[in-house]
Structure 1
Amino acid sequence: METNTMEPNQTIEHEGIVVSINDRKIVVRIMAQSACSGCHAKGACSAADMQDKLIDIAPDGHDYHTGQRVVISGHQSLGFKAVLYAYVIPSILVITSLIVAYATTNSDMASAIISLATVSVYYGVVYLLKDRLQKTFSFKIKNQFS
């Protein structure tokens, strides 16, 4: 079940099943949906590329049980932000560091190593900030089925 509204804060919704529950998170498995192919947000939604995806959701005070069907939702803008952090910024860093390194060292090998080191440091910083980013990129349970 994928829904997109035409409001300024468009949301992406997926139907899933609660896989596990503990005090800190509810894990929901998103099932493959044929509607993903027709969704205009599929380029920004990693769920469109995969068969099943596990999503961690912060508990919201409602009672859920393992095996329960739910609909989760997230803002479409989060998908675009994820693409920016995962692909656009690293691409810019690689190209920029490659040009600057080649201009200063005039060596292909040194430029390539510096460029790869730069993007490695970037992904290392992203990894260190994963807890903060996980709070930014969050889904919420919109409704539940009996």
Structure 2
Amino acid sequence: MNGKNTGSERREGIVAEVHPDEVVVRIQQLSACSGCHAKDFCTTADCKDRLIRVQTHGIHYEVGQAVIVEGKDSVGRWAILLAFVLPLFLIPFMLGVGQEVLHWGEWASALLALVALVLYFLILFALTPILSRTLALEVRPLNPSDTY
């Protein structure tokens, strides 16, 4: 957790774009081996820049300003639950419904499971405005005393 156990994940970033109610922050995502002493000789070490849109809540930021983007651990857990865990249980559940309840064959049950999965993600997409308020990241200016 970046050295501090505060119940949240923090990343330093640079403001790349400023919009009226949000900023786009560039965060450097490092691979697990990016801190390795042999990374210059290895072809697997990589760094990627990620752009993240974050609501500003009325605070003014400048392009190039150093900021901290913070997300509570509970936000990450909810995101993992919605994106990975629930769909993982949805597929075998719908396969069982197709075969045991509806008495369909394997192919029809598999198709039912895939249709249910697509519908699940369409519902998540439709709920994006609500989820983006609930599962929000926060941004604040980087202070000289902040070390992560």
- Choose from 53, 73, 86 the match for 1:56: 53
Q: Which amino acid aligns with 2:128?
A: K
TM-score under structure 2 normalisation?
Answer: 0.78
Percentage identity across paired residues of the two chains: 31
Between Structure 1 and Structure 2, which shows a larger proportion of helix residues? 1
Any unmatched runs of 5+ in structure 2?
Answer: 36-45
TM-score under structure 1 normalisation?
Answer: 0.79
Q: Could you say which residue in structure 2 is the equivalent of 1:112?
A: 110
Measured in 1, the distance between the counterparts of 2:107 and 2:139 equals 49
Q: Could you say which residue in structure 1 is the equivalent of 2:128?
A: 130
Q: Could you say which residue in structure 2 is the equivalent of 1:83?
A: 80
- Choose from 71, 76, 95 the match for 2:68: 71
The root-mean-square deviation of aligned C-alpha atoms, in Å, is 2.5
Any unmatched runs of 5+ in structure 1?
Answer: 39-48
- Choose from 20, 27, 33 the match for 1:30: 27
Measured in 1, the distance between the counterparts of 2:65 and 2:3 equals 23
SS of alignment partner, residue 52 of structure 1:
strand
Task: Tell which deviates more after alignment, 67-76 or 55-64.
Answer: 55-64
Matched length: 133
Contact 2:21 2:57 in 1 (8 A): no
Runs of 4+ in 1 over 4 A off after TM superposition: 34-38
- Choose from 15, 20, 32 the match for 1:18: 15
Contact 2:30 2:47 in 1 (8 A): no
Q: Could you say which residue in structure 1 is the equivalent of 2:97?
A: 100
Larger Rg: 2
